[in-house]
Chain A
């Protein structure tokens, strides 16, 4: 059973608008959450993370929101740019489990010019 789920396999958005990617998790032991971005023929690259002691973390155009009670996190990209077109993976870890990451299935984002 998947402990981290990204229920939207794809998302299409106009350049300049906001992209919102969602991620749900089931394991209440998860206390650290990450977003990775992947271009074709490349490995995933780290984008942004958030600890469970926070509910928001912002880095430039990227903001991650965490709702622990709902076991839900989201990634906002504002404004979206064509270079943001990629697959985005949500991942989670439980501090006690060390460096094991559990990934979601990914959301493919297409930013149209």
Chain B
């Protein structure tokens, strides 16, 4: 595998379910990101991890819980979501913390909350 991979690619869950999204990067990067893209809206940054430490939480509700066990893996744990949380969730990685480092994106997980 190369680049940034995300699993699952599609997920349908009920409001009472607990699920997790997984992201893995094979690029040797030190920064990882979660973005949300809702219909008709721009990509919104959710969380940033630099060297496994969370450095940004963009006012994300606590029903979204990120986890970064190492620089190559990033998880987004989901619980008691709402239908308005249905969106495309994109993971990205970059070499470091500089804004000049290009971010590489995974293909995304299409989430539907019923």
Interface residues of A (CB under 8 A from B): 2, 4, 32, 34, 36, 41-46, 49, 51, 89, 93-95, 97-106
Contacts and interface: CB of A to CB of B under 8 A. Distances in A.
Contacts of B43: 44, 89, 103
Nearest to B103: A101
28 contacts: A2-B42, A4-B42, A32-B99, A32-B100, A41-B107, A42-B107, A43-B90, A43-B92, A44-B90, A44-B105, A46-B102, A95-B98, A98-B48, A98-B97, A98-B99, A99-B50, A99-B94, A99-B96, A99-B97, A99-B98, A99-B101, A100-B45, A100-B56, A101-B45, A101-B103, A103-B42, A105-B40, A105-B42
A43 B108 contact: yes
Nearest to B55: A98
Contacts of A99: 31, 33, 48, 50, 94, 96-99, 101, 103
B94 to A, nearest CB: 6
Interface in B48-106: 48, 50, 55-56, 90, 92, 94, 96-106
Nearest to A104: B42
Given A2-B42, A42-B107, A89-B43, A97 B99 contact: yes
Identify the interface centre among A44, A99, A103, A105: most chain B CB within 10 Å of its CB.
Answer: A99
A51 to B, nearest CB: 8
A88 B79 CA distance: 32
A19 B14 CA distance: 43
Given A98-B97, A98-B98, A103-B44, 10 more contacts: A2-B42, A43-B107, A51-B100, A95-B100, A99-B50, A99-B101, A99-B103, A100-B56, A100-B99, A101-B45
